[in-house]
Structure 1
Amino acid sequence: MQVTNKTALVVSAHSADFVWRAGGAIALYAKRGWRVCVTCLSFGERGESAKLWRQPGMTLEHVKQNRRGEAARAAELLGAEAVFFDAGDYPMRATDELLYQLVDLYRTLRPSFVLTHSLQDPYNFDHPLAAHLAQEARIVAQAHGHNPEQAVLGAPPVFLFEPHQPEQCNWKPQVLLGIDEVWEQKRRAFELMAAQEHLWEYYTRVALQRGVQASRNSDQKITYAEGYQRVFPQVTDGLS
């Protein structure tokens, strides 16, 4: 493992989103020695826990505890640390307190890049809200007048991971990340998310599809990949 002091931040609306959509990137960078922090704004306790709610006598608190445990174990398996905000879901509502907590995390962690949701999602309003929060917090963390005794944040690039129905979310896979070396790790993390077992095979197929596209767009043999869309231009000193 390459040892580094670099960090990455993942802003996930619900407790399982980061596993399906960015688990490969998380595991890959953790394997390289990066500190990877996953923030779960909510536990997905209302809208994404149907399997639990079908059980007799289920309570909101028990669902939260269950989903928190799943997410914490998945993050650990992927090599990341998990931070939970319990902001609620269906609906999720952004408060100034939540925003400033995220700003503090940016300034503490000082990520080299950020992963979050697509900017649009007509099927799940919590997802673009999480993306908005991630980017607003980034901007506030860059402001010299916000807690001026602290060092301001630089300009970490923001990558939007793949939504469940990308065609409906105006999302395009501009970056294809090969994850073959950590695929089995990501798949095991899938299987920790028992409340959403119906998504295990779906996101396996997504990874295979992006792998085909990654091979097609490179000279590499790639089986599994993740897709990302950039928010800001890539700054580089060369095009090859």
Structure 2
Amino acid sequence: MNQKSALIVSAHSADFVWRAGGAAALYAERGWRVHILCLSFGERGESAKLWKQADMSLETVKRIRRDESEQAAAILGASISFLDCGDYPLRVGDEALFKIVDAYRQLRPEFVLTHSFKDPYNFDHPLANHLALEARIIAQAHGHNPAEPVIGAPPVFLFEPHQPEQCEWKPETFLDISPVWEKKYRAFQIMGAQEHLWEYYTRAGLQRGAQASRNSSKNIKYAEAFQCVYPRVADDLL
């Protein structure tokens, strides 16, 4: 039996932890291969705590953020790779775009998780969204590297941005991550450069858990929320 897989396209090296760490851990525990593709290390805009240290350098920040992300991914049970496209600003040419396409074709994910369409506080995030969706389309094109098999149409879910109302993001799917919450929180604790976000995303997990409970017959403590990009296709409505 072939192992199922999922792909997470993360703009920065910690985004996946806060926003989709529960999904990564949950599906990894189910035996799926979960791969995280980080477009950058978040070395400029998301590493303020490190830059406040004396004699800090860009390469040192990158190394620290990479080490943190690899440790966090290991806790969640996921594999991880980096494109090192920079951040603030994130800039991606066709060479890097085609590497994302390669990830789609090699992994052949059952679903994809990435950022919201809009984020007026961080332009790297909607760019990551655009790249994830564009790469998906190219990976479906028979004329792109025609010797390779094309992919199908994996659903894409947008994980929760830091300020959802300002990003015009709406929760449409709640995933119960209560069984793997401790793993997600352990991954939080690896991200020392952004310690200020630990409590924030703990509260977000509890809030979405409460909403998930209200929208089901289950008692859910922690949840992650997602917005759907494409119509869901199912055999029934349950």
Matching residue of 2:56: 58
Matching residue of 1:33: 31
Distance 1:117 1:4 in 2: 28
Structure 2 counterparts to residues 1-240 of structure 1, below 5 A: 5-240=3-238
Q: Is the 8 A contact 1:28 1:179 kept in 2?
A: yes
Q: 1:54 is aligned with what amino acid? A: K
Query: For 2:117, what is the secondary structure of its paired residue?
Result: coil
Distance 1:116 1:87 in 2: 16
Instruction: Provide runs of 4+ in structure 1 moved above 3 Å.
Output: none
Q: 1:148 is aligned with what amino acid? A: P
Query: For 1:118, what is the secondary structure of its paired residue?
Result: coil
Distance 2:185 2:145 in 1: 41
Gaps of 5+ in 1: none
Root-mean-square deviation (Å) = 0.8
TM-score under structure 2 length normalisation: 0.99
Query: For 2:196, what is the secondary structure of its paired residue?
Result: helix
Distance 1:226 1:119 in 2: 18
> By how many angstroms is 1:237 displaced?
1.9
Identity across the alignment (%): 69
Give CA-to-partner distance per residue, 1:209-236, whole Å, 9 cap, x none.
Answer: 0000000000000000000000000001
Distance 2:102 2:222 in 1: 35
> By how many angstroms is 1:116 displaced?
0.2
Distance 2:206 2:37 in 1: 26
Query: For 1:167, what is the secondary structure of its paired residue?
Result: coil
Q: Is the 8 A contact 1:4 1:33 kept in 2?
A: no
Count of paired positions: 238
Distance 1:76 1:39 in 2: 14
> By how many angstroms is 1:205 displaced?
0.1
Give CA-to-partner distance per residue, 1:128-182, whole Å, 9 cap, x none.
Answer: 0001000000000000000000000100000000000000001001000000100
